[in-house]
Amino acid sequence: MNITESAHQFAIKYNEALCLLEVVWYGCMSEERLQKAHDNISEVLTTKQVKLFVSDISLSTTNRVKEELWLMNYCFPLLENIGILRIARIANPDALGHMVVSNLIEVVNREEQYDFRIETFSARDRALDWLLTA
C-alpha cells in the first residue's frame, strides 16, 4: 500500500513494502510550512512502519541552511525515536550551501548522536540504491 499526500510546498510519499518515507520539498518554505510538514511527517512516522527516509530538497529554493537546522532540531530527534536506519538527502549542491550542509551531516555521522546514517546524493536513483542495498 502506498500513501501519497501533497501540499503546496511539499509532498509526502510512503511505500509500505519498502518501509520508505519520501518527502519532496518545493519552492520556498516558511517556518509555518515547515511546521505543517513536520506535523504530516510525524503522523506518518507514528502510524506506519518507517525504516528508510528520503528528503529531496533539489527543487527547493529556500534557505537550505535554515531547513537543515530545522531538520537537525525537530526531525532528527523524531526520526531517532522511530528507529529510522538510513536517511538519504537529495540536493543540487551549490558551493556555500553544500559546504554548510555537508559539515552538518559529517557531524551527525561522526559524533554518532543518532543511530541512523545520513548521506547526500545528487540523484534519486543513487539515493534509493544506497538506501535499499546498504
Residue 104: predicted pLDDT? 61
Residue 18: predicted pLDDT? 94
* Alpha helices (H) along 1-134: 31-47, 64-70, 76-82, 95-111, 124-133
Q: How far apart are CA 42 and CA 25, in angstroms?
A: 16
Q: How far apart are CA 58 and CA 36, in angstroms?
A: 20
Task: Look at the pTM and tell me if it is higher than 0.75.
Answer: yes
Which CATH number is 117's domain given?
3.30.750.24
Domain count, the chain: 1
Q: What confidence category does residue 110 fall into, taking pLDDT thresholds of 50, 70 and 90? A: low
Give the chain's count of helices (H) and strands (E). 5, 6
> Which structural domain range is residue 119 located in?
2-133
Task: Choose the weakest-confidence range: 3-12, 71-80, 92-101.
Answer: 92-101
Task: Dump pLDDT digits (tens) for 63-90.
Answer: 556 666 766 777 778 877 888 899 898 8
